[in-house]
Amino acid sequence: MAEGEVPADALTVGVDVGGTKIAAGVVDGTGKLLQHTRRETPAQDTRGVLSGIADAVRELAATHDIAAVGIGAAGFVDAARSTVMFAPNLAWRDENLRASLTAQLDLPVVVENDANAAAWAESRFGAGRDHDDLAAITIGTGVGGGLVVGGRLLRGGFGVASEIGHITMVPYGRRCGCGLQGCWEQYGSGRALVTEAREIARHSPAFAAGLLADAGGDPDGISGEMVTAAAQRGDVGALHCFDEIGRWIGLGLAQLAAVLDPSLFVIGGGVSTAGEVLRSRVEDTFRGHLTGRGHRPVAEVRLAELGWEAGMVGAADLARTHRDTAVSGRAS
């Protein structure tokens, strides 16, 4: 076995680091989550985040023999899978997580983008385990994604491929948190779903009567969970909101298919809990806008299977298999 290589049957820890929570879990070689823990994320305290990660790993290592640690971080991770160059919801700027955490934990550490980690988990153990070429789309507050090509993660020349939520869908459209305008996530995300619902409630209250009743009459009280629940019970206003974001997501998938030609799209993230209410609308628009439709194979559109575990499972598996799972123009 080469130096630094992790045995296929070893236990590894996957850590999913977001703007509000640090979730860590022990994962075996079959993708099974054996134990997990969580901490709050002190988002503006970089040392505090590192301490929280290390503390969570130590808790798990106290009862399991851990061979390596994978970190799924919400941000731009360099090609060497060591440094978070930029994180929109954390204070990390050129933060070498690998060096810091390896020194604290005395374990091998691999750092990966969180959406990439989730995509890898779905490709290995979830909805995409029978496909070598897939695009996993995470529909939450924003739109994230991960691409698996030929059974390997596509990371790009600098490590920051798959930032698909920032594809321009509407030139000079809605302002995005990334600093640009008209990004996909401004139209096809959980935030967009809520924005649409509140706008309907303000301007067409009769059409949104059910949603307004759920929110106590206050349009600003309408949440994504309320819209999803109302749509699942057949509320007309809520279904209209899913019509809208389903169209935007489907349009985005058609653009990705024109460039990448995956055999499968996997839809995950918090908004995917709407199930077929979302998936069917996405697929209808995707099929209707696919270039060369009627004369080419059409990718399947499936719902993700691993839910909240995906980030931890994917990061842990990448820590186990990191030497041969990434397609990148700059070798680590």
pLDDT at position 213 = 96
CB 72 within 8 A of CB 112: yes
Average confidence (pLDDT) over 113-132: 96
d(CA 295, CA 5) in angstroms, rounded, equals 45
Task: Assess whether 146 and 222 both reside in one domain.
Answer: yes
Task: Assess whether 322 and 285 both reside in one domain.
Answer: no
pLDDT at position 44 = 82
Task: Assess whether 199 and 299 both reside in one domain.
Answer: yes
Q: Flag whether 30 is in a domain.
A: yes
Task: Assess whether 168 and 99 both reside in one domain.
Answer: no
Task: Assess whether 115 and 231 both reside in one domain.
Answer: no
Q: Which residues contact 300 (CB under 8 A, 6 or more apart)?
A: 263, 264, 265
Q: Flag whether 222 is in a domain.
A: yes
pLDDT in tens, 293-329: 889 999 999 999 999 999 999 999 999 986 445 444 4
Average confidence (pLDDT) over 4-13: 84
Tally Cβ neighbours within 10 Å of residue 46.
18
Q: Is the dihedral of CA 218, 223, 227, 230 positive or negative?
A: negative
Task: Assess whether 285 and 322 both reside in one domain.
Answer: no
Task: Assess whether 115 and 135 both reside in one domain.
Answer: no
Beta partners for residue 26, in sequence order: 13, 35
Count up the domains in the chain and report the number.
2
Task: Assess whether 164 and 288 both reside in one domain.
Answer: yes
pLDDT at 84 over 70: yes
Task: Assess whether 323 and 284 both reside in one domain.
Answer: no
Q: pTM of the predicted model, to two decimals?
A: 0.90
pLDDT at 2 over 80: no
Q: Flag whether 126 is in a domain.
A: no
CATH code of the domain in which 266 resides:
3.30.420.40
- 331 confidence band (pLDDT: 50, 70, 90): very low
CB 16 within 8 A of CB 27: no
Average confidence (pLDDT) over 175-184: 92
Domain that residue 83 falls in: 11-121+309-328
* Paired tokens of 258: 């024109």
In SS3 terms, the chain reads as CCCCCCCCCCEEEEEEECCCEEEEEEECCCCCEEEEEEEECCCCCHHHHHHHHHHHHHHHHCCCCEEEEEEEECCEECCCCCEEEECCCCCCEEEEHHHHHHHHHCCCEEEEEHHHHHHHHHHHHCCCCCCCCEEEEEECCCEEEEEEECCEEEEECCCCCCCHHHCECCCCCCECCCCCECEHHHCCCHHHHHHHHHHHHHHCCCCCHHHHHHCCCCHHHCCHHHHHHHHHCCCHHHHHHHHHHHHHHHHHHHHHHHHHCCCEEEEECHHHHHCHHHHHHHHHHHHHHCCCCCCCCCCEEEECCCHHHHHHHHHHHHHHHHHHCEEECCCC
Task: Assess whether 161 and 271 both reside in one domain.
Answer: yes
pLDDT in tens, 253-266: 999 999 999 999 99
Task: Assess whether 265 and 142 both reside in one domain.
Answer: yes
pLDDT at position 14 = 98
- 4 confidence band (pLDDT: 50, 70, 90): low
Q: Flag whether 6 is in a domain.
A: no
Q: Is the dihedral of CA 101, 103, 106, 109 positive or negative?
A: positive
Task: Assess whether 152 and 110 both reside in one domain.
Answer: no
